[in-house]
Structure 1
Amino acid sequence: MQIKFLGAAQEVTGSCHLLQVGRQQILLDCGLMQGGGKARETEANAEAFPFDPAQLDAVILSHSHLDHSGRIPLLIKQGFKGKIYTHRACQAMCRIMFLDAAHIHERDAVTQNRKRERKGLPLVEPLYVTEDAEKALQHFRGLDYGEPLKVAEGVVVTLFDAGHILGSAIVQLDLQEGGEQRRVVFTGDLGHAGAPILRNPTYLNHADVVLMESTYGGRCHRSWEASFAEMAEVLDQARQTGGNVLIPAFAVGRTQELLYLFAQNYQAWGMAHWDIYLDSPMAIEATEVYAEFSQLYDDEAKALWSAHQYRDLLPNLKITRSTEESVALNQVKSGAIIIAGSGMCEGGRIRHHLKNHVWRPGGHLVFVGFQARNTLGRKLVEGLDRIKLWGEEIQVAARVHTINGFSAHADQQGLIDWYQHFEKRPTLLLVHGEEESQQALIEALAPITQACAPKQGQILDLLQPESPLMDGGEGR
């Protein structure tokens, strides 16, 4: 009975953990590596899995963000034939995510091959295509929170609300091998308590081993009140300078929170002064899924939603689905709030808006989510004053703001508070975090428990969880 850490080990993306119970093999998450540039991403994600996908008995998916789910179509392509268990809302969201990702992989391969053909180099294949994404979706089985299900011999799964994005789950695994029983809890990504729309993360009380994310393990967020005040101040500054506001937003989760907050604070934030553009086809579809699963909202959001629909709440919201509508925004010099993906500026329409707007002195660029190391978003947050897009160097004249209180991840104190609800102090392993954040969290947890951050390829023996981690070789 063991867990092997194959992704998001001392880094933020690529969540992937292999659980062995007797002869059963269960995969927790199967995410894309993100950040570090297109070439590095392509190479890392195309690497062979460090296990045989055909031998897996099941996959359990914590949520739909691609750094947790994005290699699942490749898993099916390479022989996995079992079921993928996740929350029903996550299943609906994965349809959007997978089809969009397949389209991007196909488009990128066409672009690369055009260049490679001119150079006489061998052509490359997409990581996966639309057909692979469609096949992957046929393997899903949607669950509700609190619904125990036996997914393999000796493995019972129960999902609990993680409060991160719609359908995100804390995964509880009750394991049995021979006469031994163990309970493993995997947080996936743990939500930021008090966030708009969704309920707070569920507190659990019993576990033998906990795998906990640590994205913000080294930081504490500003309060929601301070973050709301900061957003109001940014919008006021932008009105005074006469520029546009660009918001690189994650299509699933952050976009819906922003729209909700703009509606909720319509008068207080002076939203009537703006034309608000939702310029992300994926975010538009994701917002429709959020509407479908309104029973998962917190009480405040349910009350608002029961009285209105989101378009009624924001009369100045403009949906730009087509490329032509998006391109037309290049001519809008002021009075626009443009919400576009991707959240880390690594792709999507936001890069076109950066090219056409970020050099304008009166503009504002607002980051409201985590920026992974080596991404364009991270570089801009750290003060990069010139960016290069499609071979053109562009000056960053717009004012850059970071409102980290809007994060969908629990901060250091939130992670500690969540862990402290366990009646005993289960073995704690930190995943999904950069080394510096994990070390800071380990030090903050020291008065409570000893935590460690597994390296890529290390193995934990669940029958002896307090023993040192074993070296199992590199993961992907």
Structure 2
Amino acid sequence: MKISFHGANKDVTGSCHLIECAGKKILIDCGLFQGGRDLSEENAEDFGFNPADIDFLLLTHAHLDHCGRIPLLVKRGFKGEIITSSASKDLARLVLLDSAHLQEADARSQARKQQRHSQKKVLSEEPLYTLYDATRSFDYFGRIAHYNKAIKVAAGITATFYDAGHILGSASIHLELKEARKTCWVVFSGDIGSNGRKILRDAVVPPPADVVVMETTYGDRLHRSLDASVKEFYQAISDTFQHGGNVIIPTFALERAQEILWYLREGVEKGKLPASMHVFLDSPMAISATEIFRDHPECYDEEAAKLLKQKRDPFHLNNLHITRDAADSMAINRITSGAVILAGSGMCTGGRVRHHLKHHLWRKNASVIFVGFAAKGTLARQIIDGARSVRLFGEEIDVNANIYTINGFSAHADRAELLSWQSKIQAKHTVLVHGEEEVMHRFASQLKNTQVVIPDKNQCFTLPDFTLHA
């Protein structure tokens, strides 16, 4: 039995881990590397294994940094079975089609740039994968995983998915591995949700295991309380409206957009926000994701389920405008006050939010509210870290708007929640992934009664003793 690591090693994105047991190879996630630096080469590199050799892929959830290289895996020869939850399957289709569209658009853009600097005709750059590749990958989604119900993946390999409370359909995966009279239990955390949030249930801790592979995104800090965060959120919007400006919220399409819609609706209903407020959901992907949320009430917590039973839409409020078309998106910028604009992407690395930032960052009466994680090198991180100006569409834009960072909305567990979760696994070996390296080391110093491993990319270890494999 062996385990190896092929992404999210001393980094926040690109989750990809490989188990070899009983003659089978099982991949846990296959995510895209993301961030501000140029990652096209890293995403296009060899996986560190032969995709054609992979028998199964177990997908923890549908965020791009966990599923985004699945079409590339298929393009390079994968013909195995993908097992995930029903909600993750639906969201993954949406995410992968959107990603393929962006891959093709980026390739065309790079070709045009080269054309401008060359007298010769330049052929289009080859995208990492195409819409055809993404569509083909859907053929390999097979059995549906249900929370708390074991699936016999293959002889000697049993997987149980547990609700991770992170996004719709997200899971931690408990594996029972048997080979040559040896048994080993391994838990993959996926991304662990923060407790007490709206819409979804709290994370469920899987049973104890010999090895736990866990995320450390916020392993060095505590989140502000949710109540205090909501209060600040409402106050930021109210203050902006009093000064005659708009609010821009860079929004992750999955989970964060739906959660913010929930709080905006609740704020109006409770009189915390003006009923005249106009809200623009300016993200085709977030619009489609919200529709998928409505199709999966089995993932909801008690409060959200109660609203549905009352035939109330938890994501709807008066003066909510859904803008799928680019022309409608551009028209929003003619509105200079009294609007809340939710637009992707959350880290401002692409999407429509960059256009809204261009039109609002320089305004002293506008506000930008960040409600999610921003990786190093991203435009969002630059603004959060106090940049006085940023470059957008070839122009230098002054940052005069009011900038708010409200991390109490985070879909990731904080340090205390991660430590509590890990302690209940009682693992002999704890492998830290999916975090910035300095954060991993700070988190590692807090762990007790476990051997901590922070693997390099493509490192391989034997199971169950967890020694480095030659």
The separation in 1 between residues aligned to 2:379 and 2:171, in whole angstroms, is: 29
**What is the aligned counterpart of 2:282 among 275, 279, 282?**
279
For residues 394-473 of structure 1, the aligned pairs below 5 Å read 394-422=397-425, 424-446=426-448, 448-465=449-466, 467=467, 469-470=468-469
Name the amino acid aligned to 2:186: V
Q: Which residue of 1 aligns with 2:202?
A: 200
Q: Which residue of 1 aligns with 2:20?
A: 20
2:91 is equivalent to residue 93 of structure 1: yes
2:131 is equivalent to residue 133 of structure 1: no
The separation in 2 between residues aligned to 1:108 and 1:218, in whole angstroms, is: 35
CA contact (8 A) 1:159 1:171 kept: yes
Q: Which residue of 2 aligns with 1:392?
A: 395
Cα shift readout 1:376-408 (whole Å, capped 9, x = no counterpart): 111111011111112111111111100011100
CA contact (8 A) 2:208 2:427 kept: no
**Residue 104 (structure 1) shift:** 0.7
**What is the aligned counterpart of 2:343 among 328, 340, 343?**
340
Q: Tell me which moved more, 42-51 or 382-391.
A: 42-51
The separation in 1 between residues aligned to 2:9 and 2:53, in whole angstroms, is: 23
Cα shift readout 1:178-235 (whole Å, capped 9, x = no counterpart): 1011110001000001111000000223211101100000010011111111112111
2:384 is equivalent to residue 381 of structure 1: yes
Q: Tell me which moved more, 168-177 or 19-28.
A: 19-28
**SS of match in other structure, 1:212:** strand
Q: Which runs of 4+ in 1 moved over 6 A?
A: none
**Residue 122 (structure 1) shift:** 5.8
Seq. identity, %:
46
CA contact (8 A) 2:307 2:314 kept: no
The separation in 2 between residues aligned to 1:52 and 1:152, in whole angstroms, is: 20
Q: Given the superposition, is the C-alpha separation of residues 392 and 55 from structure 1 closer, same or farther in structure 2, using an over 3 Å criterion?
A: same
The separation in 2 between residues aligned to 1:220 and 1:453, in whole angstroms, is: 22
The separation in 1 between residues aligned to 2:227 and 2:160, in whole angstroms, is: 34
**SS of match in other structure, 2:168:** coil
**SS of match in other structure, 1:104:** helix
The separation in 2 between residues aligned to 1:366 and 1:380, in whole angstroms, is: 11
2:184 is equivalent to residue 186 of structure 1: no
The separation in 1 between residues aligned to 2:316 and 2:49, in whole angstroms, is: 49
TM-score by length of 2: 0.96
CA contact (8 A) 2:307 2:313 kept: no
Q: Tell me which moved more, 197-206 or 302-311.
A: 302-311
Count of residues in correspondence between the two structures:
465
Q: Which residue of 2 aligns with 1:248?
A: 250
For residues 149-228 of structure 1, the aligned pairs below 5 Å read 149-228=151-230
Q: Given the superposition, is the C-alpha separation of residues 313 and 279 from structure 1 closer, same or farther in structure 2, using an over 3 Å criterion?
A: closer
The separation in 1 between residues aligned to 2:16 and 2:242, in whole angstroms, is: 47
Cα shift readout 1:295-331 (whole Å, capped 9, x = no counterpart): 2100011112222443784112110110010000111
Note the residue ranges of structure 2 that are not aligned, 5 or more in a row.
none
Name the amino acid aligned to 1:258: I
CA contact (8 A) 1:217 1:437 kept: yes
Name the amino acid aligned to 1:187: S
CA contact (8 A) 2:234 2:267 kept: no
CA contact (8 A) 1:238 1:245 kept: yes
Q: Tell me which moved more, 239-248 or 452-461.
A: 452-461
**Residue 23 (structure 1) shift:** 2.2
**SS of match in other structure, 1:276:** strand
RMSD of aligned C-alpha atoms?
1.5
Note the residue ranges of structure 1 that are not aligned, 5 or more in a row.
none
**Residue 239 (structure 1) shift:** 1.7
CA contact (8 A) 2:210 2:464 kept: no
For residues 39-58 of structure 1, the aligned pairs below 5 Å read 40-58=38-56
Q: Given the superposition, is the C-alpha separation of residues 305 and 138 from structure 1 closer, same or farther in structure 2, using an over 3 Å criterion?
A: same
**SS of match in other structure, 2:221:** coil
